[in-house]
Amino acid sequence: MKLQKNTFTLLGIATILGVGVYVYELQINPQKQEIATQSKQLFTFEEKDIKVLTIETKDTTYKFEKTSDEKQPWQMKKPQETVANDAIIAFLTNLLVNSETARTLTVPNNQKKEYGLDKPLGTITIELENKKQHKIILGKPNFQGELLYAHIDPLPSSQQEITIDLVPKNFQYAVDRQPDEWTKKN
């Protein structure tokens, strides 16, 4: 049986494509996955670097400062000056440091309302020991209700597009609390 010229051409193209897929899967794709994994962390600071936390909700603004006292490491400064509930603050700081974004979206700035960022669930401002500040604006839950839309370290509103991250719903539990939960109970 004699093979035609077209058969050899198709066999050559198939071989070239096979080698291309092989190189892509073993060389290029793992590098892309590594880059994606590195960029999933919400913030790069450590928990010990946090000096001040300000949480703005629809009803109230809470401000907490870290103290040098190991027994009472957090002090509430607003709306009243008292000892803060360390467990609640530890839960929030742990989320800020260890959470990862599930997905990142780039949307037009005028679509903030669709993601609940025009009237946010809460805004967390973090001031570090080195005086740098970070901010996370929490929007509404996604369609499945498992994640929240969040705008992390927003740039000035003159931007035409904004980056929105999907963050764990635990952020809602961390900021949506009754006022007496934030203070230490004796």
Calpha distance 114→109 (Å, rounded): 11
E strands, 16-121, where? 50-57, 61-66, 74-78, 82-83, 103-108
**Within 13 Å, how many C-alpha atoms sit on residue 178's CB side?**
3
Strand 122-128 and strand 147-152: the pairing is unpaired
What is residue 37's predicted lDDT score, i.e. its pLDDT? 42
Calpha distance 176→160 (Å, rounded): 30
Overall pTM surpassing 0.85 (yes/no) = no
Say if residue 5's pLDDT is above 80: no
**Minimum mean pLDDT among 30-34, 47-51, 138-142: which range?**
30-34
- The predicted model gives 69-84 an average pLDDT of 89
Using one digit for the tens of pLDDT, what is the confidence trace for 58-67?
Answer: 889 999 999 9
Calpha distance 178→159 (Å, rounded): 35
Q: Which two tokens stand for residue 141?
A: 């839950």
Strand 147-152 and strand 161-168: the pairing is antiparallel
What is residue 14's predicted lDDT score, i.e. its pLDDT? 86
- The predicted model gives 8-35 an average pLDDT of 73
Q: Which two tokens stand for residue 105?
A: 């979206």
Calpha distance 154→165 (Å, rounded): 11
54: left (phi over 0), alpha (psi -120 to 50) or beta: beta
Calpha distance 140→76 (Å, rounded): 27
**Residues 4-31: b if buried by 16+ CB within 10 A, e if exposed:** eeeeeeeeeeeeeeeeeeeeeeeeeeee
